[in-house]
Structure 1
Amino acid sequence: MRSAEAALEESKRYFREEVAPKAQLIDQDPAMVAEAMRGLCERDLMALKRPAKFGGPEMSEPMFREYQEEIARTSGALAFLTTQHQSAVAMLSSCENQDLAAEYLPQMGDGGKLVGIGFSQLRRGGPPIMRAEPVDGGYRLEGHVPWITGGGLFPEFMIGAALPDGRSVFGIVPLEDREREIKVSPPMRLAAMESANTVSAEFSGFFLPKERVAYIRPPNWIKNNDQINVALQGHFALGCAQAGIDIVRQAGEKKGISFLTDAAAALEQELADCHVATAEAQKSVDEETTDERLRVRAWAIELAVRCAHAAIAASSGAANSLSHPAQRVYREALVYTVSAQTTAVMEATVRRLRR
């Protein structure tokens, strides 16, 4: 079994040598993002937090966050797509249904099993829009899943549905039309990361057998989980910030303009400071959201946007071309601003931006 350290180095090498030169095409073409994901599958890099007993490499949390930053630095679309599957790996790694874990996890590193996720609807207030009714042998699913990334790329996804008693059931279901039971929309038109094929789905009486259920979570689970992960979600934004800095530095070197290289150095120092603050805020990941975690998450978001904006300015009018990386990174910063956003994160972000 390959070590986690070796897997991280292999992923960095792949991003640098194979993905970075094609990042603009990956951003615009679903076939290209699928090809880039296949490269990760061929290198057995799609299940980095998988336990050793299922094939490893059981990457530690700090190491996995480093991986997240590197992939976000290289290609937002590839990061956005594959993090869905990596999240499903993490969920199955701790699930109560060990038979399901044993069926899926050994095949999730090399793409034998590809699984997305679809449970952001559980964050919404009011009556649940995706419901599960207990029936003999499992659950009947009814309702709407508004966001599922990987349509046509992932054959299945991990759905989250609200039970009548307030708990939530999570299980693996098909990501494809099933007569009248499942209707998947065409891919959405999005300003950023459109090539990752985000879709929605309608469920009407679909039967989820108990054998496909990963676990049942208590009421407010997703709210509590979001509170714990407030700072952790900032790593994609930090990777995006580094991508912007890379463009500013390259522009300075190409044009021979010292104020651009000086700006890149100053932004990189702030990025290093934000890294330190983020790591400090993550030391007690089992506690509820704190003001400090919200502060560093908002800082990471704002820094990503500023670095991306600096990349636009440093690239001049060329940044307005769809073939230029500056506008891509700027659009990616939009996504990282709102990914896994809670009301508290929104407030912290807006408060920082109103300074």
Structure 2
Amino acid sequence: MSNSAKVLDRAERIAEEVLFPAAETVDASDAVPTSHLDLLAAEGFYGVAGPPQFSEMSAEDTATAARVMEIVASGCLTTSFVWAQHHSAVMAATHSQRPGIAEEWLEPLCRGERRAGLAIIAATRPGPPAVRAEPVDGGWLLHGVAPWVTGWGLVDTLFTAARDASDTLVWSLLDAKESDTLRVTPVDMVAVAASRTVEVTFTGHFVPERRVTGTVPHEVYLQRDPATLRFNGSLPLGVATRCARLIGPSPLDAAIGDCRSTLDAAGPEQLPSARAAAAALALRAAGLLATTTGSAAVLRHRPAERLMREAMFLLVFGSRPAIRADLLDRLHHA
């Protein structure tokens, strides 16, 4: 058995034996169990985006990494949502050219000894930044509000983006703890509520230069950004896969395989449409499961009800203007 096959086999075992049996309990709870995250760390899944010495996969094996994310999401979307945020910090530590970053951060992140969330949307999306970086002696001050920061209380690190006056993104690794200059407000969501998603407010929050992983012009980042859409597409595929398994053999199985292949083969221009197709497929699959299940689908904290809420959540998660336009077109003409 190849290393990639071993990795996928372990992911399937965790999804089927641990995550899915507990998914309704997690959905109704205040936080993802740390035991779920500990298990993923112990099995090496916090290092899948890192260099080979921390994973059984090749660093270039993005298809296997995407499939692992899909499998974990098929077990419990909430757990996968917290865990998925971690990998951007791993990639930043892997590729950083800044002195000391890889030496200090890479191994503990890959082993899950440090666990990261993301606070990047406010600065990376098109338009004026909601989080700004001001240069000062020894580092930067962050100002603004970062929405949709997942894993508060479950992570110890925030991989954060802010934009300076020259429209350059400043990436950094911060401690995930409240202070006079970093405050959080919980976000009440209809799905994945146990992901402990918050809004973070920075008020002159100091970032020492040694915590900065790199800088990049915002325009350059936007040209690279579509590559992340492939991995985001794994989450709706996971939801669709779970629906298909609960329904039983059906044409949905082939549709999921086709959607996965389209995502894997898509280039930057095609990825928004492929990503939209995955979200639309999750919604279709959840609708089919609800209809197949019958009246029990409206009972709270049952698989059909939970998966329908999760499919709705994934219609808007990680969206971009091109994805939204494609989804609207698909839903108008469905």
TM-score, L = length of structure 1: 0.87
Are 2:40 and 1:40 aligned? yes
1:238 paired residue number: 237
1:196 paired residue number: 195
Are 2:213 and 1:228 aligned? no
1:18 paired residue number: 18
Are 2:83 and 1:82 aligned? yes
- Give SS of 1:16's match: helix
- Give SS of 1:176's match: coil
- Give the Å deviation of 1:149: 0.2
Are residues 102 and 6 of structure 1, via their aligned partners in 2, closer, same or farther at CA, if it must alter by over 3 Å?
A: farther
Are residues 123 and 218 of structure 1, via their aligned partners in 2, closer, same or farther at CA, if it must alter by over 3 Å?
A: closer
CA distance in 2, matches of 1:112, 1:207: 24
- Give SS of 2:101's match: helix
2:144 paired residue number: 143
1:121 paired residue number: 122
1:259 paired residue number: none
Residue by residue, what CA displacement relative to the aligned partner does 1:165-205 show, whole Å, maximum 9, x if unpaired? Answer: 00010101122211x211122x3211010001001111112
Are residues 201 and 96 of structure 1, via their aligned partners in 2, closer, same or farther at CA, if it must alter by over 3 Å?
A: same
Unmatched 5+ residue regions in structure 1? 250-263, 283-288
Are residues 226 and 16 of structure 1, via their aligned partners in 2, closer, same or farther at CA, if it must alter by over 3 Å?
A: same
2:211 paired residue number: 212
| Matched AA of 1:9 | D
Of 276, 283, 304, the match for 2:282:
304
1:285 paired residue number: none
- Give SS of 2:167's match: coil
- Give the Å deviation of 1:228: 3.4
| 2:73/2:239 contact within 8 Å kept | yes
- Give SS of 2:294's match: helix
1:324 paired residue number: 302
CA distance in 1, matches of 2:136, 2:300: 51
Unmatched 5+ residue regions in structure 2? none
1:267 paired residue number: 252
Are 2:331 and 1:353 aligned? yes
- Give the Å deviation of 1:326: 0.9
Aligned residues between the structures: 330
Are residues 230 and 40 of structure 1, via their aligned partners in 2, closer, same or farther at CA, if it must alter by over 3 Å?
A: closer
| Matched AA of 2:201 | E
Are residues 20 and 64 of structure 1, via their aligned partners in 2, closer, same or farther at CA, if it must alter by over 3 Å?
A: same
- Give SS of 1:298's match: helix
- Give the Å deviation of 1:22: 0.8
| Matched AA of 1:333 | A
- Give SS of 1:220's match: helix
